[in-house]
A = this chain, B = another copy of it.
């Protein structure tokens, strides 16, 4: 339980003060903050809300979306990532999770080139802020318009090419990676690069490309098995519950939070 963190998008109906109070009351100590939850108040005030509830900001979600169709788009993507690093630093989050982006209008190879350029353009500011960029490889079903980075192996190759900069790590989400026949080998290869671990579950059938993820234990992902592999790299950080679900969002949120805690205990924690 001391490693359980929840992303604010998971309990979508709660604003930051409500989520902070509810998480704390449930014994949850970590929070993954989506940037929409920072709107409408100063960063200092958001930080105070977290501090007042004894919550650690585990990650700021999300940066990325580097591919562009114009020079202006290119620059605004980079600016937005630099801003995200500032925001993360302000609320005490050690990493910005990156959904790297993809444009259906571009060849995949071009989107991938834009991502490498974009990452490189953020390294200095990452170093300056002390916040790491965390690449989240996304499931191949998102390769058209969300991320052209789709496997852990590809992420490892990319980081090799960039010279393994310490400013960049990897967020490993079981939802995106569970199917990969090379997963175990690539987790070993990633090693200390893995700085984030996200959990949820894959439902059969899945009704919606985006918003039909399952609570841990509802689906077919071997979450404990993947966790074991990730922790064999030395990872002992937060375990972040990130669930997009129309079904759960329409549930009573207090009851849902209790279910999240129970699912974490039953399907993520080791006996």
A140 touches B180 (CB 8 A): yes
Q: A104-B204, A206-B209 are in contact. Are A179 and B220 (CB under 8 A)?
A: no
CB-CB under 8 A from A153, the residues of chain B are 181-182
Q: What range describes how many residues of A lie at the interface?
A: 20 to 34
In the bound assembly, the distance between CA atoms of A104 and B178 in angstroms comes to: 12
Which of B140, B178, B180, B205 makes the CB contact (< 8 A) with A179?
A: B140
Flag if A112 contacts B181 (CB, 8 Å): yes
Q: Is the CB of A181 within 8 A of B157?
A: yes
Q: Decide yes or no whether A193 CB sits under 8 A from chain B.
A: no
Query: In the assembly, what is the distance between CA of A112 and CA of B143, in Å?
Result: 25
Q: Contact check, B179 vs A143: say whether CB atoms are below 8 A apart.
A: yes
Q: Which residues of B lie under 8 Å from residue A151 when comparing CB positions? A: 181
Complex Cα distance A154/B206, Å?
Answer: 24
Q: Judging by beta carbons under 8 Å apart, are A179 and B150 in contact?
A: yes
| Contact among B140, B157, B205, B222 for A145, CB-based, below 8 A | B205
CA distance A153 to B154 in the complex (A): 13
A227 to chain B, nearest CB (A): 15
Q: Chain B residues near A140 (CB, 8 Å)?
A: 139-141, 179-180
What CA separation (Å) do A13 and B219 show in the bound complex? 35
Please judge, given known A-B contacts A204-B145, A205-B145, whether A219 and B179 are in contact too, CB under 8 Å: no
Contacts of A219 in B (CB 8 A): 104, 144
Contact status of A204 and B141, CB under 8 A, knowing A104-B220, A181-B157: no
Q: How far is the CA of A178 from the CA of B157 in the complex (A)?
A: 19
For residue A204, give the distance in angstroms from its CB to the closest CB of chain B: 4
A108 interfacial contact with B, CB 8 Å: yes
* A contact set with B: CB distance below 8 Å: 104-105, 107-108, 112, 139-141, 143-145, 150-151, 153-154, 157, 178-182, 202, 204-206, 209, 219-220, 222, 225
Can you pick out 20 interface pairs between chain A and chain B where the beta carbons lie within 8 Å of each other? A104-B204, A104-B219, A105-B220, A107-B222, A108-B178, A108-B179, A108-B222, A139-B141, A140-B140, A140-B141, A140-B179, A140-B180, A141-B141, A144-B220, A145-B205, A150-B179, A153-B182, A154-B181, A157-B181, A209-B209
Given contacts A105-B220, A143-B178, A206-B209, 7 further A-B contacts (CB under 8 A): A108-B179, A140-B180, A144-B206, A144-B219, A145-B204, A150-B181, A153-B182
